[in-house]
Amino acid sequence: MTKPVYDALFNEQLVALARANGDELLALMANDFTLDEKRHQETAKALVRYAVQQKPELRDLLKTWVEKWSPLAHRAAEGLSSCFGEAPHLLEPEKVAAAIGERLQTFLAECGLAG
């Protein structure tokens, strides 16, 4: 739960904030981490697929973990998103948190663990 939220926050939203405030260097540095993000997500999805193929009952366990940790991940994203409203050229914290939440839900759906 933490890594997809972190990735969406720093690899997407921080990049947008940096560019909006003229900090292209920070945007480029943070943007480089998207390669690691994509590799991690593909590995995580493959691991979930493999685990569930081997033991289908693991899907319920994984969904239980998602249900437990998703609210905390959303609260963390909301808390960190408030910082985005402090920049000279701000991003609306509510929109930042919503975008992060959407990315997390997309990732969970791709893992077969949404809803």
> pLDDT tens string for the chain (115 positions)?
789 999 999 999 999 999 999 999 999 998 889 889 999 999 999 999 999 999 999 999 999 999 999 999 989 999 999 999 999 999 999 999 999 999 999 999 999 998 7
11-15 contacts, C-beta under 8 A, 24 or more apart: 11/37, 12/99, 12/103, 13/81, 13/84, 13/91, 13/96, 13/99, 13/100
Q: How far apart are CA 8 and CA 20, in angstroms?
A: 17
Question: What residue type is 1 in one-letter code?
Answer: M
Considering only CA atoms, which of 89, 93, 90 is closest in space to residue 80?
A: 93
pTM: 0.89
